[in-house]
Amino acid sequence: MPVQCYENVSKDVKKIIKIDTENTSYVIGVIDDEQFLGHIYYGAYLNDYHLAYALRIQENPFVPSQNNGERLSFLDSFSMEYPAHGLGDFREDCISIEMPNGSTGLSFSFVSLNILEEKPRLSGLPSTFGDKGECTCVEIVCEDVHTGLKVVLLYTAFEKADVITRSVRIVNAGKAPLYLTRVLSACLDMDDKEFEVLSLHGSWARERQIKRMPVGYGRYSVESLRGESSHQEHPFMALLTKGTNQEYGEVYAMHFVYSGNFKALVEKDQFDQIRMVMGIHPEDFKWKLESGCEFQAPEVVLVYSGEGLGKMTRAFHDFYRNHLIQGTYRDKERPVLINNWEATYFDFDKEKLIQIAKEAAQSGIEMLVMDDGWFGNRFDDKRALGDWYVNEEKLPGGLKALADEVNGLGMKLGIWFEPEMISPDSDLYRAHPDWAIAIPGREGSLCRNQYVLDLTQREVVDYVYGRISQILHSANIEYVKWDMNRQLSDIGSAYLPADQTGEIYHRYMLAVYELQERMLKEFPYLLLENCSGGGARFDPGMLYYSPQIWCSDDTDAIERLKIQEGTALIYPLSTMGAHVSACPNHTVGRSTPLETRGHVALAGTFGYELDVTKLSEKEKEMISLQIAVYHKYNELVRCGDYYRIASYCENHFYDCYGVVSKDKTEALYTFVQVLGRPNHRSRRIYLKGLAPEKKYRIEGEEEINTGDVLMKAGYLVQNMWGDFRSRLIHLTEV
């Protein structure tokens, strides 16, 4: 059984709860007369449950029933499963409240345990899922007897995936309303193992750069207060034992299934104990919880690997492909699209779009995506957001006429939306200035000349959805790029009362989820691609609704090596929106060979971001060849196991990664020479993921080698002349 509960293990240990996957175990203890819930173990699979000793309850200061005079010392050192605020645990806590009398202290005792055969959906939130037999859930209910507040801790073991997910539901069973001022979703307490912390950082055009550093005393956090998961930080954190690489070392990883403000933190205390927590950022969060009401916190995905970062990566990839991504395109090849943004920006009309579509269709491109500028008075980024009515000066006959003509060329049509935003210079704002998020009486801060709609208002949500629905019904639109180009600030609402202003950030995020849920329910055939000024909302929450997310506005092939390496650390390649764009690149000004741009974009959804009408015949021929390569390898790239072989971020000369089919019969490795080397011999790379005993032939070469040889003795990549050169290395079993 994946979940076992053992009673009266020792005098002080009342229960041990053991949650197993095929290769990992998670162990919790209930101790003392007060039924404290303690964390015992998370890591490699254990075949035994006799772990009472690991709680250290016979060490000074003992448990409160034996030495209540040192209760504070106990609370400040005990490994808590879900630590609460204010009564003596001075480490980072997971939950805090404000009572009507101003008190904040909480202490939870175990009440009950319930094993579920099916995973419940989290109300209003994206979350992972599993069919009956794929996962087992356990609910642990704890209660603070003084306030009547209950926490329902939900653990789900996905046995074959080697993943455990956690979430928490808060129930006010007391008689009075209270305010939640902090609700984090997961905590891990354990001894330090000379850990390093790995996190992902960046900015616009350089998202998800990998950073590693030793864990020192004190607290280190990764967080966003921007109303989105953000370009700057990412809702992911991993602890690594010293020296961990792709194949060796222990990894403890947490990933947050949420798209708004978050906090991930690791703390090393006076006793060399480690606490790692993750959840909604408590700053500017204050949720009024009436008597009898509940609050559902988002989910955290936990992955343990005892075989380095590579195994962690493949666990996340498989888990998200099978248990988070959904919809029509989850297991399908995505259409090769061309987006007109970098081709035209706002300067386009129907005639120009059809010119692009005609040339694109001849090269084998399958979808035209019309980006910003097709609605209202939208001739630049200073106006018209919110006025979701077709500009028939640009598009005579509206979207239907455009769709019909594009479809007549054998192509699909997609469009860009930014439904969450409103321009001050718009008909919508002039009619409803109170629909923007704003502090009453204070002029709001603009970003990209726009405000954010107050989606805490039901009227606003229904209006926005009504416009989306009407537009999608008006023509054969098969793809939506949902964008969000600014952060949230100036938090205030004309709708919510003053004592609920602290709910705006989370209510806003729930409304975005609701809008996308409604859209996909009404238009289930849509391919949705989320975007936020590039990759500011590349997170598991968005992945629940869209099988792909725009990875970054920086489409330069060399910059993308770094961005895509960090993204692929935890996300399947099939989720990464990646395009071949024009050169010199519009973001960095670099020129790279078209072949290299194609090879790098192949490790993603694959598409184009350029004006195909301005290309030479040779370049058009290259595009046709690239599309053929995409179709040839897509199933392998989309479904295979990912292996990182070399990192340009680390060696500064070359990049190399591979994808291997599940049955080990086929593999594709991408090698990018960033800097050419004068007077050098070939570069030796050590392939990964092959079956040692199988024999492989590399496409275009006669020699046959075993996987054992290619992984241990390596493969020689001949020196290529010049910078920014690349090569695909395709292996098949013989």
Q: Given this model, what pLDDT does residue 132 score?
A: 87
pLDDT band of residue 10 (cuts 50, 70, 90) is: confident
Distance of CA 159 to the CA centre of its chain: 22
Determine how many CB atoms are found less than 10 A away from the CB of residue 381.
16
In the chain, what is the straight-line distance between the N-terminal and C-terminal CA atoms, in Å? Answer: 41
Active-site choice (387, 454, 483, 539): 483
pTM for the model stands at: 0.97
Q: Given this model, what pLDDT does residue 140 score?
A: 98
Contact 546, 528 (CB under 8 A): yes
Active site (annotated) includes residue 192? no
Q: Is the dihedral of CA 232, 256, 657, 584 positive or negative?
A: negative
Is residue 60 predicted with pLDDT exceeding 80? no
C-alpha distance from residue 728 to each of 102, 478, 623, 674 (Å)? 64, 32, 16, 15
Q: Given this model, what pLDDT does residue 61 score?
A: 79
pLDDT band of residue 100 (cuts 50, 70, 90) is: very high
Distance from C-alpha of 192 to C-alpha of 267, rounded to nearest angstrom: 10
Is residue 679 predicted with pLDDT exceeding 90? no
Q: Given this model, what pLDDT does residue 11 score?
A: 84
Architecture of domain 339-420+461-485+528-640: Alpha-Beta Barrel (3.20)
* Residue 678 C-beta-side C-alpha neighbours within 13 Å: 0
Per residue in 446-502, pLDDT tens? 999 999 999 999 999 999 999 999 999 999 999 999 999 999 999 999 999 999 999
101: tokens are 């009398």
C-alpha distance from residue 128 to each of 165, 256, 473, 569 (Å)? 8, 11, 30, 19
Active site (annotated) includes residue 556? no
Output the CATH code of domain 86-323: 2.70.98.60
Distance from C-alpha of 4 to C-alpha of 30, rounded to nearest angstrom: 13
pLDDT band of residue 1 (cuts 50, 70, 90) is: confident
C-alpha distance from residue 622 to each of 629, 636, 697 (Å)? 10, 22, 25
Per residue in 589-639, pLDDT tens? 999 999 999 999 999 999 999 999 999 999 999 999 999 999 999 999 999
Active-site choice (12, 553, 554, 556): 553
The domains spanning 86-323 and 339-420+461-485+528-640 adopt the same CATH topology: no
Distance from C-alpha of 184 to C-alpha of 266, rounded to nearest angstrom: 13
Contact 296, 169 (CB under 8 A): yes
Per residue in 563-580, pLDDT tens? 999 999 999 999 999 999
Q: Given this model, what pLDDT does residue 644 score?
A: 98
Per residue in 513-536, pLDDT tens? 999 999 999 999 999 999 999 999
Percentages of the chain per state (helix, strand, coil), in multiples of 5: 25, 30, 45
The share of the chain scoring above pLDDT 70, in percent, equals 100
The share of the chain scoring above pLDDT 90, in percent, equals 96
**Structural domain boundaries of the chain?**
86-323, 339-420+461-485+528-640, 645-733
Q: Given this model, what pLDDT does residue 142 score?
A: 98
Residue range 645-733 forms a domain whose CATH class is mainly beta
Concatenated DSSP letters of 365-386:
--EEEE-S-SBTT-SSTTS-TT
Q: Given this model, what pLDDT does residue 58 score?
A: 85
Q: What angle do CA 431, 434, 440 make, to 5 degrees?
A: 145
Q: Given this model, what pLDDT does residue 293 score?
A: 98
DSSP single-letter state for residue 121: P
pLDDT band of residue 435 (cuts 50, 70, 90) is: very high
Q: What is the mean pLDDT of the chain?
A: 97
Strand partners, 24: 44
Q: Given this model, what pLDDT does residue 321 score?
A: 98
Contact 343, 607 (CB under 8 A): no
Q: Given this model, what pLDDT does residue 59 score?
A: 87
Is residue 354 predicted with pLDDT exceeding 80? yes
Per residue in 290-306, pLDDT tens? 999 999 999 999 999 99
Distance from C-alpha of 269 to C-alpha of 291, rounded to nearest angstrom: 36
Contact 486, 421 (CB under 8 A): yes
Average pLDDT rounded to a whole number, residues 314-327: 98
